Homo-oligomer: A and B are copies of this chain.
C-alpha cells in the first residue's frame, strides 16, 4: 500500500545511464522516511540469452545488457509496462533516448499521479519541428507537469563505479528541485541545485558543438594553449546563446558541473571530439566518419551546430557567434579546419 504522503520515485528508462542512476536512487529512497522504498524502472522488454531482460534484472539485480557487472539495489524493480511503472509515482526520472520522449509522453498523458513532477536526464535537444526545443519543455507541454533537469560531467560507467563526481539540477520550483535532490544526491554523486532549467539543459546540448571545435584543434596539433582558448571561447558563446534565446539563464550556471566541468570531459574524451579530430587527420567527411567510427550512433555535435546555425541565420546573428559559426562551416560548408581559429 502506498502511503499517500510519501514521494514515490520511478525511472523511465534503463540504459547504462538510467541503470547507474537507478543504483543511486534505489539506495537514497531507503534513507528518507518520506520516500517510498520501491523504485520502479521502466525497461523496454527484450530477450537476452533466452530470458526476459526484466526477469534478469529482477532476479540478478543487474542490468546484464546495458550495465553489466554492477549490482543494483533490490528495491529497484524492472517493469516492462510503462503505465504500471508510473503508477502512484510522484517523482518521474526521464532517462530515455530523446527520440522516444514524445511517444512516451503520448502514452503517459492523463495517467499520472496528481502530484507528479519530472526531471529530465536526457542530454540533447529536440529538433524535430525545426529550431531548438528543450526536452524539458517537450515533457512539460505534453504532460502539463513541472519539469527539472539534471546535467553534469557524468560519464555513466564512471558513475556506476562510484567514482566521485558532481552534477547539477536546474529547476524552476526549488521544492521540486530539492525533492529530486534527495533522490539523486550521494557522497560520490554530488548534486548542486540552480534555479535555471534552460541554462543547465542547453549546456548538455551545446557542449557537443564545443567538442567538435576542440577535436579540430586536436587534429591540427595546435597545442594546449589553443585548445584551452577554444574551450573558453566555446563556453562564452554557449552562455551568450542561452542568454540571448532563453529568459533567466544565470551566469553562475556555467561554473557548475553542467557548465565548465562537462565541457572539459566532453572536450578531452567523447565521440564528438574524436570524430572531429579524425576529420582533420584523415580529410574524410563527418558523414563518412560517423558511419565508420560510431557503429550506428549519431554525432550530436554536428547536428546541434546545424540547428544553432539555422537559428542564428534566422535572426541575422551569425557574426555574433563566430565560434559556433566557424564550427558549422567546417562541418557543412567545407571551411578548411586550419581556418577555424582565424574565424573566431
- What is A's interface to B at a CB cutoff of 8 Å? 153-155, 158-159, 161, 163-166, 187, 190, 222-229, 231-233, 235-236, 251, 254-257, 260-262, 264-265, 268-269, 341-342
6 closest A-B pairs (Cβ-Cβ)? A165-B225, A228-B261, A153-B228, A164-B341, A158-B223, A232-B261
CB of B261 within 8 A of CB of A226, answer no
Interface residues of A, dominant DSSP: helix
CB neighbours (8 Å) of A165 from chain B are 225-226, 228-229
CB neighbours (8 Å) of A223 from chain B are 155, 158, 161, 163
Q: Can you spell out 11 A-B residue pairs with CB atoms less than 8 angstroms apart?
A: A155-B225, A158-B225, A158-B226, A163-B223, A164-B222, A164-B226, A190-B229, A227-B264, A228-B260, A228-B265, A231-B260
CB of B224 within 8 A of CB of A268, answer yes
User: Which of B155, B224, B251 is within 8 Å of A269, CB to CB?
Assistant: B224
Chain B residue, CB-CB nearest to A230: B164
Docked complex Cα distance between A269 and B155 (Å):
22
Copies of this chain, count? 2
Chain B residue, CB-CB nearest to A229: B166
CB of B268 within 8 A of CB of A229, answer no
CB neighbours (8 Å) of A154 from chain B are 225
CB of B155 within 8 A of CB of A224, answer yes
User: Which of B153, B161, B232 is within 8 Å of A229, CB to CB?
Assistant: B153
CB of B265 within 8 A of CB of A225, answer yes
Q: How far is the CB of A35 from chain B (nearest CB, A)?
A: 26
Q: How far is the CB of A201 from chain B (nearest CB, A)?
A: 18
CB neighbours (8 Å) of A265 from chain B are 224-225, 227-228
CB neighbours (8 Å) of A261 from chain B are 228-229, 231-232
16 new A-B contacts, CB < 8 A, other than A153-B225, A154-B225, A155-B223, are: A155-B224, A158-B222, A163-B225, A163-B226, A166-B229, A224-B265, A224-B268, A224-B269, A227-B265, A228-B257, A228-B261, A229-B261, A232-B256, A232-B261, A254-B255, A260-B260
